[in-house]
Structure 1
């Protein structure tokens, strides 16, 4: 059964200042099954984040429906965890309290919060940093805290909006490998927004290649590349060339 069903979704933003409408997404259909890792790939401004925000419940389609586990998405919910480009941590709280924050909101006792946080702190490789504050950590470590916080909510779906975009190349590659390890261990469905072809091909079980605005799905590509992915392999680069062709204006038009 599909975990996420996006059917006939379009999104039109009204530009009150210029008295015009901007079509961000046009007639998008996407199905994501349980435990799949879907990367939404496309040029800037093609509506990738808008689509992610609809799954999260932060935004609503102008037409069409977005369903998670058979239910129409009407608002944010605990069944969907979100990891943003910036980790959005609370600077006055140490790592473990950031990770367990939503348990505190639900009234859980300190001991329970600490024990549960530790499981996910270990999972993202931050043992020993439980009592550090965000300002004492690198950008990559803060993103690990954000991922641990999303995992602790135990959502069926994790939504990630270019979470490694601000990191340097080496840290980004390390975090990509770490995320694949966590996904394989944790299991769950991930939707990951990126405009990096190598990133999409390193992470995904599937890549939805989107056209320039108004965003459409040019092609849904299932990746059967072995893990860990070798970005220098002939098969990897064959798929990369195909995606580059799709992303050229003439390629998207035929998609």
Structure 2
């Protein structure tokens, strides 16, 4: 059974200031298997984040349905961890307390919270920073805290909305390498929204390219290049040309429709 089943999803928003409806996503269907790493690419405004939010349960589709593990998605759940572009940490809590916060809400004692959080703090490379506050960390380190927090919930699915977009180039490369290693170790399913073709091809074993609004899946293909991936190799650059060609065609259609 597919981990995530997206069945004929459409999403319409009401623009009250202009008294009209806007179709953000139109009749999207795809299946995502256990341990897939799917990257969603497409023009700005094509509905990538909206689709991710519906898988997360933050928004409901106007038509169609989404299932995770055969169960319809009707609201957020512990089976789906979410990592946003900004890590949304609580500045008054330390790294350890931010990672373990939802365990506190469940009533677990401090010692057990710290013990369970430590595994994931170690996993994301923050050993030794357990007592630091977010203001004392770099942007990349704060994003690691957000990833550790999501992992601690032991989700079957991790949803990531451009989590590395605000990072400098070197930190972004490091975080991409870390994320692939984490994905390989814990065997979860990841759906990752990005605007970067290079990032999608470094990370994903599947690339789904969306059309201009209303967003549809224009092309969804497997990318099984061995890891770690050589971004200078002919195979990588062939795939990059393929994806860039699709995105440029969509951008041209947007300009013609304007």
TM-score bucket (shorter structure):
over 0.9
SS of residue in 1 equivalent to 2:3: strand
Q: How many correspondences in the alignment?
A: 253
Alignment gaps of 5+ in structure 1: none
Q: Is 1:52–1:161's contact at 8 Å kept on the other side of the alignment?
A: yes
Q: In the aligned structure 1, how far is the partner of 2:217 from the partner of 2:48?
A: 10
TM-score of the aligned structures, taking structure 2 as reference length: 0.96
Q: In the aligned structure 1, how far is the partner of 2:224 from the partner of 2:134?
A: 38
1:168 maps to 168
Alignment of 1:241 with 2:241, yes or no, is: yes
Q: Is 1:211–1:252's contact at 8 Å kept on the other side of the alignment?
A: no
Moved over 2 A (4+): 248-253
Q: Is 2:212–2:250's contact at 8 Å kept on the other side of the alignment?
A: no
Comparing 241-250 and 2-11, the one that deviates more: 241-250
Q: In the aligned structure 1, how far is the partner of 2:172 from the partner of 2:206?
A: 20
Q: 1:252 deviation in Å?
A: 9.3
Counting only pairs closer than 5 Å after superposition, residues 45-60 of structure 1 correspond to structure 2 as 45-60=45-60
Counting only pairs closer than 5 Å after superposition, residues 68-217 of structure 1 correspond to structure 2 as 68-217=68-217
Alignment of 1:15 with 2:9, yes or no, is: no
Q: 1:250 deviation in Å?
A: 5.9
Q: In the aligned structure 2, how far is the partner of 1:42 from the partner of 1:248?
A: 10
Say if 1:250 and 1:174 are closer, same or farther in 2 by CA, change over 3 A. closer
TM-score of the aligned structures, taking structure 1 as reference length: 0.97
Q: 1:212 deviation in Å?
A: 1.0
Q: In the aligned structure 2, how far is the partner of 1:101 from the partner of 1:87?
A: 14
1:229 maps to 229
Q: 1:245 deviation in Å?
A: 1.1
